[in-house]
A and B are shown apart, each in its own frame.
Chain A
Amino acid sequence: MKHLFKPEVVKGLWSLLILLLVIKMAWFAVEVLWLPTIGVEHSEDKGAKALYYRVKLSPNEAAPPATTKKPVQIAGSIKDIKLLAIYNASDVTVVTVEYKRKTKVLAKGEEINGFVLEGAGSNYATFSKNAKTYQVNLLISTKGKESIKSAQPSTASASSENKVEGEVIDAGDHKIVDRSLLDHYAKNMDDIYKNIGIKEIKKGKDLEGFSISFIRRGSPFAKLGIQRGDVIKAINGQKIDSYNAAFDVYKNISNIDNLTLVIQRGKEEMELEYEVN
């Protein structure tokens, strides 16, 4: 009997088919054991936007938020700490300080002379002691040729040139925020973080909101009447419980005429109203 194909060709083809089958089975095993079958879907925030905006026709008779300005006491010893350098990355903050003529490198959470390093901006570091926050500015030597600079020296210098125009004026029942101030912060996000620290509030892995971790004394943010520890619940009717919601507010901040902040201070929830002029 004559074969249609040469036996060795058929054998070779079978071998290749078996090889393909083995590879397919191997990939199948990988797929079943280690690989997900569906991708990560981004879920848009739902219900973040308010269904209505409150229009106030009568003057606000509510008392302005109690902004008991506690003078931040500068303990004598904080003056002994000199900030020499800052390394500030997204996940790590390290500063070099001089204390009693000795230099020491501190990571976030470490302490020196009882002052715990809380964070750092481009040209300053914040320390806390006895529930009080202290800010130490980066030391720039004026004596001579050498100057001590931060890890991002030009950021500091570039931003420091951006002078903030505009004021927050207390009009009794409400406060008036200069529009140029909002425009400035809308264009210079860096300047926001120099003046105010925002901390995530998480429940397990889920983000629940944001609280204020520090406010720079004398900054426009301090004049808004908000305090360290306040939880930001809503801005202009929009619940602030995600980065997206917060960023939405930031993107549209130049176009608003009124600003309403709902904050939680301790167990009390309060509403702060501002007119943008």
Chain B
Amino acid sequence: MQMVKKSGIALIVAWFAILVLMPKQEFYYKLEESLAKHEIELNEEKIDEGFFSLGLHQVTVYFKGIPVATIEEMDLSTLLFYSSLELEGLHVDDSLKRMVPQETQKALLSHTIFSPLTVSVDAEGSFGGMTGVIDLHARKVHLDFNESKNIEMLKPQLKKGEKGWVYETSF
């Protein structure tokens, strides 16, 4: 019993230490490097490293050198068994407002080891509400626009489903 207790404490301490001592900022730089290969660049005004998360403030997203969007707050966090990326105040550049919804108040992408090959997506914004799944195995994206509003510009790419408008693509 004493051995089990000791092992339990060691495991919790190890888990806690792995997360707290993780070089989060450097991992974020690695992510930036990977995105840069696809000509996506992130420029942030401030980076806050927390115990379990990394917060980015006033992020400007560039695609092929063009500033396409700004994100007020971006939070990357992991507990090893659950990881998430939370975006707040995503504003798409005016020049693209005829192609994509301009405002996203909140978006959450989450991954859990209980479903390792899928990433859940939840978002709400000027387009209403949206939930969906990214299937990493099938390399497919499925998004349901549940309370769709102001999505006229997206409709050419959407299909009409039972619950509302659906966006599907593969990568």
The residues of A with any CB-CB pair to B shorter than 8 Å are 12, 15-16, 19-20, 23-24, 27, 30-31, 34-42, 45, 89, 152, 154-155, 158, 187-189, 242-244, 247, 250-251
Contacts and interface: CB of A to CB of B under 8 A. Distances in A.
A45 B26 contact: no
A12 B65 CA distance: 54
B64 A40 contact: no
Interface string B138-171: 0000000000000000011100000000000100
List the 10 closest A-B pairs by CB distance, nearest first: A35-B26, A155-B156, A243-B64, A244-B65, A154-B156, A40-B32, A39-B29, A23-B17, A36-B29, A42-B41
B51 interface: no
A187 B98 contact: yes
B21 A24 contact: yes
Given A35-B27, A247-B66, 7 more contacts: A19-B14, A23-B17, A24-B21, A31-B23, A40-B42, A42-B41, A152-B156
A158 B154 CA distance: 11
Interface string B1-12: 000001001100
A189 B99 CA distance: 9
Contacts of A34: 30
B28 A39 contact: yes
**Interface majority SS (helix, strand, loop, mixed), chain A:** helix
Nearest to B19: A23
A251 B14 CA distance: 53
Contact of A250 (B23, B26, B62, B95): B95
Contacts of B94: 251
Contacts of A23: 14, 17-18, 21
A251 B95 CA distance: 6
Contacts of A15: 10
Contacts, number: 84
Interface in B75-127: 94-95, 98-99
A242 B65 contact: yes
Contacts of B10: 15-16, 19
Given A27-B21, A42-B43, A35 B156 contact: no
A36 B155 contact: no
24 contacts: A12-B9, A19-B13, A20-B13, A23-B18, A27-B18, A31-B23, A34-B30, A35-B26, A35-B29, A35-B30, A36-B26, A36-B29, A37-B26, A37-B29, A40-B32, A40-B33, A40-B35, A42-B41, A42-B43, A152-B156, A154-B155, A243-B63, A243-B66, A251-B95
A37 B65 CA distance: 23
B171 to A, nearest CB: 9
Nearest to A187: B98
A152 B26 CA distance: 40
Given A243-B65, A250-B95, A36 B33 contact: yes
B16 to A, nearest CB: 9
Given A19-B10, A251-B95, A158 B33 contact: no
A39 B30 CA distance: 8
A92 B32 CA distance: 25
Contacts of A12: 6, 9
A67 B83 CA distance: 59
A89 B26 CA distance: 33
Contacts of B98: 187-189
B36 interface: yes
A188 B96 CA distance: 10
B95 A41 contact: no
A251 B96 CA distance: 10
Contacts of A45: 65
